[in-house]
Amino acid sequence: MKGVLEFLARRYIAGVGAEDAVSVARALNGSGILATIDNLGENVRTEEEAGASVREYTGLLDLIKSSGVNSTVSLKLTHLGLDISSLLARDNAGRIIKAASSLDNFVRIDMEGSAYTERTMEIFLHLRSRYPNVGIAIQSSLRRSAGDVRLLIERGASVRLVKGAYKEPPEIAFPRKPDVDRNFEILMKELLLKGKSPAIATHDERLLNEAIRFVNENNIPKGRFEFQMLLGIKRTLQKRLALEGYRVRVYIPYGPNWLPYSVRRLRERKENLFFVVKNIFD
């Protein structure tokens, strides 16, 4: 398994250092594609580890600025100490967001498993009341997400809409893929009509085509939203959409923790492995 993951990682993970991620972002920018960089990590257990994550992100933001690449950053609150306390994670995230603001950059808070959803929303809403340069991800697989999207639209927050990669119980999440896709489409259209700078994060070409049809039908300018995809997935499609004038942003993960992170994601849902493998020849 490790050998397989190391082979796949060369395409789907930028490398172990921030310089690797910035180099990948620069190449994507050359094709008219924007970037968001994520330092891989989650579920830190000590305040020292959480502090190290903050330093990594502030250093990354400085590197993005000095290199001139067009990239935001993405982060997980458990990487900043959420398992230790909500206050610690909130304060650490605030330090990163404040640093990003001083550099005219933007931070996206990723959504993790459902055990963290409510606390992530609470922390985000607190931070959003202080900093305009922060957004959040919402998973269409969760039953609660329609209410969360309505609230976030009311608050003028930027939402990245994803399907969700975590295995969840049926009382919390839709167990059938068609239901997840249907909810994605409903929330996608609501965000495109009413949301602030929404990010439609999917590789599903049916949903992407429906988004394009919908924005054309409703005269929604291309600059009011963006499509987001993962590094190494549907690369031909990414370039085509960018050439057609759409804002396309690619999620670039990096860091020494790529192996344990990848193993956990693949163990959680077998669909995650199938998804990666079936796109390897694009």
Query: In the predicted model, is pLDDT for residue 270 greater than 60?
Result: no
Selecting from 3.40.50.300, 3.20.20.450, 3.40.50.12280, 3.20.20.220, what CATH number does the domain 2-276 have?
Answer: 3.20.20.220
Residue 21 pLDDT more than 60?
yes
Q: Tokens at residue 220, please?
A: 């929604």
Predicted pLDDT of residue 165: 83
The pLDDT of residue 77? 98
- Residue 275 binned pLDDT confidence (cut-offs 50, 70, 90): low
User: Closest Cα to residue 230, out of 59, 8, 65?
Assistant: 8
Residue 1 has pLDDT above 90, yes or no: no
Instruction: Tell me the percentage of the chain whose pLDDT exceeds 70.
Output: 88
Q: Is the predicted pLDDT of residue 164 greater than 80, yes or no? A: yes
| 93 token code pair | 């995230």
Is residue 107 predicted with pLDDT exceeding 60?
yes
The pLDDT of residue 167 is 87
91 is annotated as an active-site residue: no
Band of residue 121 on the pLDDT scale cut at 50, 70, 90: very high
Q: How far apart are CA 7 and CA 120, in angstroms?
A: 33
Q: What is the mean pLDDT of the chain?
A: 92
Report the DSSP pairing between strands 134-139 and 159-162. parallel
Catalytic-labelled residue, pool 108, 160, 247, 249: 160
Q: What is the pLDDT of residue 11?
A: 76
Catalytic residue status for 160: yes
Q: In the predicted model, what is the mean pLDDT of residues 257-268?
A: 63
Tokens standing for 238? Answer: 């990414």
151 vs 260: which has the higher pLDDT: 151
Mean pLDDT of all residues in 191-206 = 97
pLDDT band at 95 (very low <50, low <70, confident <90, very high): very high
Task: Count the helix, strand and coil residues of the chain and give each as a percent rounded to the nearest 5.
Answer: 55, 15, 30
Q: Measured between alpha carbons, how far is residue 17 from residues 159, 179, 258, 267, 275 in Å?
A: 28, 38, 11, 25, 26
Which member of 38, 83, 110, 148 is catalytic?
A: 110
* pTM across the whole model: 0.92
Helix (H, G, I), strand (E, B) or coil at 236: helix
